[in-house]
Amino acid sequence: MEMHRKTNERFDVVVIGGGAGGTSVAARLRRLAPRLRIAVIEPSAFHYYQPAWTLVGGGQYDIERTRRNTQDCLPRGVEWIRENVQRVEPDANAIMLGDGSRIAYRYLVVAAGIALDWDAIEGLAATLGKNGVTSNYRFDLAPYTWQCVREFRGGDALFTQPPMPIKCAGAPQKILYLAADHFARRGVRANISFFTPGPSMFGVPFFAKALAQVMKRYDAQPCYGHRLVRIDGPAKLATFEVTTQDGSKETSTRRFDMIHVVPPQSAPAFIRQSGLGDAGGWLDVDDATLQHVRHPEIFGIGDCTSTPNSKTAAAVKNQVPVVTANLLREINGKGEVVEYDGYASCPLTTSSRRVMLAEFRYGGQITPSFPADPRKPSPFYWWLKQRFLPFLYWDIVIRGRKWPVLHRPRKYGDALPDIQP
């Protein structure tokens, strides 16, 4: 239940963030150690299943099914503090909240997610949700993406990706494929372009080559070394900073009829301001144990941490048992150290009927859960994405229930399979 705070009230465990990571850890701790007094700090009244927003933007999912009340998602017996965090005082084991009150903790789990900076692109905030400018990275805008796709009658369709790291690095191109599939099915002629600051379609070469083939199938143009810096919605112009082959910078302006924009992203500011961040501002944790490198009573999970894995809900799912086991080991003074292997999964929607299921761990090692070549888009993976994974999230992961580890290293030949999006 939501609580009324008393200054300097003390909890055994405080969790900052009530999203996928924070809710799941709180629920798992509640199951394993019900006597612990746990609080979750989360300002939002709603909990969102964000992986489905891509499907919403492609007309394949109801937006209301991606949102539930925060109160209904948090486990019973956990106290909900509906506030923002101003700063953490790690030497005092205390947290200063947005209303000026202060709470204390024995142990802290930081699951604060990632900050989206809509103002980093000049003109973007003023034109979002109109003029054909949209983004699946916001609950209120994903339905507008589908409106833009549905009402598109031909012309220039642009899709952008900011510099890494971002949450769900495949999402910027997933909507491209869903839109391209919709256009093709209806005979709509479109000039489709994908703009990314990076040198390829995906950070793992094994999948990047396959996705380049998907782009060719749709006659879509990848534009590498491009970073969106300015957008003029009424004029329908997008300006990019382009890094040339010799490393110099220049600008390029492109016209659009619709554009899907992903904003630059960073760690929440309070992490750096509290002295808990690494050089990039991310919560500075051990890559394997997810324990803070300087403050052993602090653990991290999800998008806000310094771990070099892809920032996805699948990564969070596999981090939950690591954080809870190592936290309980710290509390009880016994137990084995559990390690996270960097696993992440990205179900890449190559059309409205097939998905390429990219699964990998630290170092880009390919670790599929199924023996079939994961580069081959499959209707079964589409079913997983659209039907099974929402169930897994709502009924298993955030409820703190165990789920078996299915992924493992597998080897495949260099030759690409037949790729039909």
Tell me how far apart the alpha carbons of residues 405 and 393 are, in angstroms, rounded to a whole number. 15
Residue 60, strand partner residues:
none
Which of 303, 296, 298, 295 lies closest to 268, judged by CA? 303
DSSP of 260-271, one letter per residue?
E----EE--HHH
DSSP of 207-251, one letter per residue?
HHHHHHHHHHHTT-EEEETEEEEEEETTTTEEEEEEE-TTS-EEE
Q: Any catalytic annotation for residue 168?
A: yes
Give Dmax (Cα) for the chain: 65
Q: Any catalytic annotation for residue 223?
A: no
Count Cβ atoms within 10 A of the Cβ of residue 61 and give its class: 0-12 exposed, 13-18 middle, 19 or more buried. buried
Please work out, in degrees rounded to the nearest 5, the angle formed at the alpha carbon of residue 317 by the alpha carbons of 83 and 327.
70
165 upstream amide cis, omega within 30 of 0: yes
Tell me how far apart the alpha carbons of residues 260 and 263 are, in angstroms, rounded to a whole number. 10
Tell me how far apart the alpha carbons of residues 321 and 25 are, in angstroms, rounded to a whole number. 8
Count Cβ atoms within 10 A of the Cβ of residue 46 and give its class: 0-12 exposed, 13-18 middle, 19 or more buried. middle
> Please, are residues 360 and 315 in contact by the beta-carbon 8 Å criterion?
no
Q: Which of 148, 168, 223, 304 is catalytic?
A: 168
Tell me how far apart the alpha carbons of residues 377 and 355 are, in angstroms, rounded to a whole number. 5
Query: CB-based contacts of 418: which residues, under 8 Å, 6+ apart?
Result: 376
Buried b (16+ CB within 10 A) or exposed e, 272-289: bebebbeeebbbbbbbbb
Query: CB-based contacts of 2: which residues, under 8 Å, 6+ apart?
Result: 71, 80, 81, 82
> Please, are residues 341 and 362 in contact by the beta-carbon 8 Å criterion?
yes
Q: Which of 73, 148, 304, 346 is catalytic?
A: 346
Q: Which are the catalytic amino acids?
A: 168, 346
